Amino acid sequence: MVDLKNDNINIDLTNNILTLENIFQVNLHQYNDIIQNILQTAIKELQIEKNLNDIQQQWDTMRFQIHKHYRHTLGTNIERERGFIITGVDDILQALEDSTLLLNSIFIYCFFFQFFLSQFDKIIKHNQRSAMKTYVKQLNSQIEEIVIEMRKFLKPNEYNKFETVLTIDVHTRDTVDILIRDGINEPHDFSWQCQLRFYWLSKEDNLFLQQCNEKFEYGYEHMGLNDRLVVTPLTDRIYLTVTQNADPIVIEVNWSAQDYLLHTTPSLQIVTNPLVSRQFSPISKRIFANLAQLNAEYTRYAAWYPYPKMAVAELDPPSGLLQCGNVGEGFSVHLSCQQNGGIIHSVDFASYGTAMGACGQMKQGSCHSNKSLDIVEQACLGKEECSVPASYEIFGDPCFGTHKRLLVQIQCNPPQNNSYWNFIYLDPTLQDFLQATNGHSRIVMFSTQPVWLFKLNQPHIYPDNATQTDWGYPEGSQLVDDTMQALGDYYGRLTAWYTRGGFVDEYGRKQLSNYTYNWDYTEIFNEIEFEHKMTPEFYTRAYDAVIQGIRRHTNNTEMKYVGMALGGHYEFDWYHYFLNHSNHAPDIPLDMISYHFYASSKSRTDPVDYEAFFPQLDTFTDEVKQIEQIRKALSPETKTTIDELGIILPNDNDIDAPQFPLIYWNAGGAYYAYAWAKISRQGIDVVGHSQLVGYPNLPDLQLSPQFPSVSMLNWTTGAGTAKYWTSKLLIDTADIDNDEAVITQTTDMGEKSIFSQAFVGKNGRRWVLIVNKRFTDIVVKLPDSTGGTLQLINEASGFGPPIQTALTSDQIDLSPFAVAVIHMPHAELKP
């Protein structure tokens, strides 16, 4: 018997094991209130929910072992049975130890932080700027010492303490650096007031938190005291909400003070993939309707390598008098001698199995169906054309469990030279794009070169299925033809197909399309450092060769070109080389350059981490400034398009990647609006939102993931997300080369929470862009906006256009990651 004296409960232990089922049998649920009170009191007092939940989960799942407990009778060696012990306590003690470690780190954080603040308050009150600089040096030295200590073997408790002190010191150093930089001398300056500050108030005999003009009694909560390396101002939501309710962020606009001319065009890119193609997609029609609705300029069309059949017009090299086919199981080899009115005269090679080799060099593999040649000859000899399926039902199965291919080589009579141009998957999507963007400037890029132009040990086997990805397609780094004429000819013929009604192929035959499309810019290749690992010298030669090839096959000297499309960063050697006109052939234009930027976050699903997009963009703008210095020095007439600017979340192309929350669409829209406005200050010509259509794993359509987080449209319905509607809002609102940005400031020091920029257009039209960069509600005040119109993209607007309302107050509520455009009421501007 176990005597629970406090509650007068007797439990009869008849089994060796006590389980939760046993406990329930004795109706312990009647004491649920007592247990709940204990847990709730502990949680309320300690605020360490995770650790207590671990303990509770351990209790819920544990099978406790029952052991008899013996003790010696006092003064004797006689052991007497004293009852039972429930084992499993070690697990509970471990959880409690973890809680103790967390409590230690919180205690250290609070103590050291309030000590720093008390000392720093004295410094700032006495305007001791030299003391601030000395303190920064001291902190840097201390940080180095801590890092050295943390490399040693430490107990968990010791490591936790060092880690906490390191967090404090890094945050403190960064804070003091900012205060020195901004010339903060008064304790009431906002940059200091916005910090979450810890004070021990002796009169209260308690620890208090202070932010802005609010004070909070500290209650063991660890909001803001987690394991972030840097605790930044205004990131602690519970305090931010309260303090901002008291004081909205004020946007101050000097409508008469011109800042810069708005020159940057908001645009986007569309990348070819099966969901875009009308041949495979149930939403293709709506996709292109939404593209047309944007009315965007400089839209970029990117035919990209992961789907070779949708990106490359000549997947196999011309093979002279020999004609070949090579397909995998489930597909058919198609052979034809109709070009010269002939018939299939001979079958030189046929193998169903693991044969390999280019046309004219095919060899049997270790797996081979002996019936291959007979079956193909029976199906094809004497016919103008034939089709032979690669199937074990026809050839038998020479090696069960091995993937097999059917390779065939024939000759025609009369002899026929053979090339393999095929536009069946390229034409429909480009046609839809050109129709949707008719009347607007556009950039067309067929980024992928046929891989057979490069030296390879074995021919690259591309997927037979047009919707199957081939991430390894860009093989090789050296061209077969070092003069690069074959490379130029490929792009010349490809461009002539769409703009000159067709082309003359490698054997002098006319290939007719009857297309006479036109577009403004041809972009030459994509992310060239990665695809085929090009060097600046190699790419510059290739760029020149492609332009010469296009001119050779189209006689079009008016076409403009976009160069580089760099995907990496701080690659300034590329810009120095490519933008130097002396490195190019005569008469080669440098009309425009392009480069890319994608932000990301640590977590795919935590909206708090989406706030990281914005400081990443700030870092990128510094890179843009350096690139602009090079461009202006070497080729100031060359324009710039940042034609891929977007976000790629972690594990984006994993089949089992968790779906991000809907608020991500708002974060992505806010990020693009912020990026466009920030980059516009540099005078960049175009900023392209990437991209119109991506998607996760779509098993119903048998499509593997294609960067779902970049998408601007809903991949199920084709409806616009907040990213799409943000782009449309900017395109519709901004009057490029007519609107003037004016001086705009806020009480949000350092733009940590919101971004705002005001513009003045023709006839006194005034508008303000406001972006909430935070995963929290923010209230802003825009003086004199009452009577104006608000267009708001937020969670409530969902997959629809901006919510439009008349402003009856100058205070505006912005939900997390909201984007707002305020059209100000008409007013006479002061000179």
Residue 506's nearest CA partner among 312, 303, 316 is 316
How far is Cα 324 from Cα 10, in angstroms, rounded to an integer? 87
In a shared domain, residues 238 and 291: no
Cβ-Cβ contacts under 8 Å for 470 (sequence gap 6 or more): 305, 306, 307, 308, 462, 463
Beta strands in 53-166 (DSSP E): 64-72, 79-86
Residue 289's nearest CA partner among 665, 718, 695, 716 is 718
How far is Cα 307 from Cα 419, in angstroms, rounded to an integer? 21
Strands 322-328 and 405-413: antiparallel
The residues pairing with 690 across neighbouring beta strands, listed in sequence order, are 269
Say how many C-beta atoms besides its own lie within 10 A of residue 355's C-beta: 22
In a shared domain, residues 728 and 816: no
In a shared domain, residues 255 and 192: no
Residue 260's nearest CA partner among 776, 680, 720 is 680
**Side-chain-side CA neighbours of residue 26 (13 Å):** 14
Structure tokens at 742: 């004016």
Cα-based angle 422, 423, 428 (whole degrees, multiple of 5): 155
If 0-12 CB within 10 Å is exposed, 13-18 middle and 19+ buried, where does residue 611 land?
Answer: buried
SS3 756: strand
In a shared domain, residues 485 and 573: yes
**pLDDT computed for residue 166 by the predictor:** 76
Residue 61's nearest CA partner among 95, 34, 38 is 95
Structure tokens at 241: 């909400």
How far is Cα 342 from Cα 434, in angstroms, rounded to an integer? 38
Residue 203's domain is classified under what CATH number?
Answer: 1.20.58.1120
Q: Which amino acid, one-letter code, is at 114?
A: Q
In a domain, residue 49? The reply is yes
DSSP assignment letter at 153: -
* Element housing 332 (H / E): strand 332-336
Cα-based angle 56, 57, 60 (whole degrees, multiple of 5): 90
Question: Which of 685, 706, 733 represents a domain boundary (last residue)?
Answer: 733
Residue 299's domain is classified under what CATH number?
Answer: 3.20.20.80
**Which backbone phi and psi does 441 adopt, to 5 degrees?**
-70, 145
- Whole domain around residue 62: which residue ranges? 2-87
How far is Cα 705 from Cα 279, in angstroms, rounded to an integer? 18
**Side-chain-side CA neighbours of residue 793 (13 Å):** 32
In a domain, residue 316? The reply is no
CA dihedral 581, 543, 506, 310 (to 10 degrees): -160
**Which backbone phi and psi does 731 adopt, to 5 degrees?**
-60, -45
In a shared domain, residues 726 and 773: no
Residue 380's nearest CA partner among 414, 360, 409 is 409
* CA 552 to chain CA centroid, nearest Å: 39
Structure tokens at 417: 């030279």
Beta strands in 222-273 (DSSP E): 249-261, 265-271
In a domain, residue 763? The reply is yes
Residue 579's nearest CA partner among 522, 520, 633, 526 is 633
In a shared domain, residues 541 and 647: yes
CB 86 within 8 A of CB 71: no
Domain count, the chain: 5
Residue 643's nearest CA partner among 797, 793, 527 is 527
In a shared domain, residues 201 and 334: no
Cα-based angle 802, 806, 810 (whole degrees, multiple of 5): 105
**pLDDT computed for residue 227 by the predictor:** 42
In a domain, residue 689? The reply is yes
* CA 761 to chain CA centroid, nearest Å: 34
How far is Cα 92 from Cα 585, in angstroms, rounded to an integer? 75
Q: Which residues of the chain have pLDDT under 50?
A: 1-26, 28, 43, 46-47, 63, 73-76, 220-238, 244
Residue 595's nearest CA partner among 618, 637, 552, 628 is 628
In a shared domain, residues 70 and 30: yes
Cα-based angle 264, 268, 269 (whole degrees, multiple of 5): 135
Residue 778's nearest CA partner among 240, 95, 258, 92 is 240
CB 688 within 8 A of CB 642: yes
CB 267 within 8 A of CB 297: yes
Sign of CA dihedral 281, 283, 285, 291: negative
CB 778 within 8 A of CB 772: yes
Q: Which amino acid, one-letter code, is at 650?
A: P
How far is Cα 329 from Cα 391, in angstroms, rounded to an integer? 6
In a domain, residue 828? The reply is no
End-to-end alpha-carbon separation of the chain, Å? Answer: 94
In a shared domain, residues 679 and 715: yes
**pLDDT computed for residue 18 by the predictor:** 44
**Side-chain-side CA neighbours of residue 740 (13 Å):** 15
How far is Cα 605 from Cα 610, in angstroms, rounded to an integer? 9
Residue 752's domain is classified under what CATH number?
Answer: 2.60.40.1180
In a domain, residue 159? The reply is yes
CB 820 within 8 A of CB 670: no
In a domain, residue 78? The reply is yes
Question: Which of 393, 413, 433 represents a domain boundary (last residue)?
Answer: 413
Cis peptide leading into residue 414 (ω within 30°): yes
Structure tokens at 818: 């909201």
Cβ-Cβ contacts under 8 Å for 206 (sequence gap 6 or more): 200, 217, 218
**pLDDT computed for residue 187 by the predictor:** 66
Structure tokens at 228: 């972030």
Longest dimension (CA), the chain: 117
Question: Which of 733, 763, 782 represents a domain boundary (last residue)?
Answer: 733
Structure tokens at 625: 């400034």
In a shared domain, residues 72 and 110: no
How far is Cα 519 from Cα 495, in angstroms, rounded to an integer? 10
In a shared domain, residues 162 and 288: no
In a shared domain, residues 402 and 497: no
**pLDDT computed for residue 55 by the predictor:** 55
**pLDDT computed for residue 74 by the predictor:** 45
In a domain, residue 829? The reply is no
* Element housing 686 (H / E): strand 686-690
The residues pairing with 242 across neighbouring beta strands, listed in sequence order, are none
Q: Where are the alpha helices (H) located in 328-386, listed in sequence order?
A: 372-380
